[in-house]
Amino acid sequence: SAVISQKPSRDICQRGTSLTIQCQVDSQVTMMFWYRQQPGQSLTLIATANQGSEATYESGFVIDKFPISRPNLTFSTLTVSNMSPEDSSIYLCSVEDRGREGYTFGSGTRLTVV
Amino acid sequence: GENVEQHPSTLSVQEGDSAVIKCTYSDSASNYFPWYKQELGKRPQLIIDIRSNVGEKKDQRIAVTLNKTAKHFSLHITETQPEDSAVYFCAAVMNSGYSTLTFGKGTMLLVSP
């Protein structure tokens, strides 16, 4: 199955600043997904990132707040911009793992905004 | 879009008992239903999945059943053990041109020794 390296694993940031989260996959994948998991909650899809095109954002999420890059088929970044305490969450990337017909997740980034 | 309802939100059982978690989905076009286990502070891990052309699938102590007509699917864990304690999420994939998972709200399973 696909192996995803996600970093940073955690960070504490000042409000008003930005944080960029990186995900590296050990195989080429068409789509990468970015999720947010607020404390004690389920996973909510932020956007889907395809290589060579703009990301597709879900309702309630906008590009200015969560810009995404997808420069090649193994890498993507999610930036959380102009952060506020409400952005404190776990952010996870995911890929559709054709090898074992499932979806694999990165280890997550625990973000705390103070 | 797809909507996935999951029940119960919490489930407490004694070690050795069985546990059942139920989910319903709204879009009949969904055809892939994975279950994830998330331990505290860790990433969701796929534990079992089922496709719409199958009614039941088993993997040791874990089984999943799917009723396409009623649009519901269930996770069954037999002979529960304390290490089964975690949050379990069901999900559904709707074929809308690209595959995105819609998750249920999760079930916190607590297995007491």
Q: What percent of chain B has a predicted confidence (pLDDT) above 70?
A: 96
**Bigger pLDDT: A51 vs B67:** B67
Residues 6+ apart with CB under 8 A from B47: B35, B36, B37, B59, B62, B88
Q: Which residues of B touch A100 (CB under 8 A)?
A: 46
Q: Is the dihedral of CA B77, B3, A39, A57 positive or negative?
A: positive
CB proximity under 8 Å: A 10-69 to B: 31, 33, 41-45, 48, 50, 56
Q: pLDDT value at position A30?
A: 86
Q: Chain centroid to CA B5: how far?
A: 11
Going by C-alpha positions, the residue among B84, B40, B91, B82 that lies closest to residue B64 is B91
Whether residue B53 is predicted with pLDDT greater than 90 in this model: the reply is: no
Residue of A nearest to B49 (CA): A102
Question: Strand (E) positions, B1-113?
Answer: 4-7, 10-14, 19-25, 32-38, 45-51, 56-59, 62-67, 72-77, 86-95, 99-103, 107-112
Which pLDDT tens digits describe chain A residue by residue (114 residues)?
789 999 999 999 999 999 999 999 999 988 899 999 999 999 999 999 988 888 999 999 999 999 999 999 999 999 999 999 999 999 999 998 765 567 899 999 999 999
Mind listing the pLDDT tens digit for each residue in B83-107?
999 999 999 987 544 678 899 999 9
Residues 6+ apart with CB under 8 A from A89: A36, A37, A38, A39, A111
Residue B107's DSSP bridge partners are B88
Q: Which residues of B touch A50 (CB under 8 A)?
A: 98
Q: pLDDT value at position A100?
A: 55
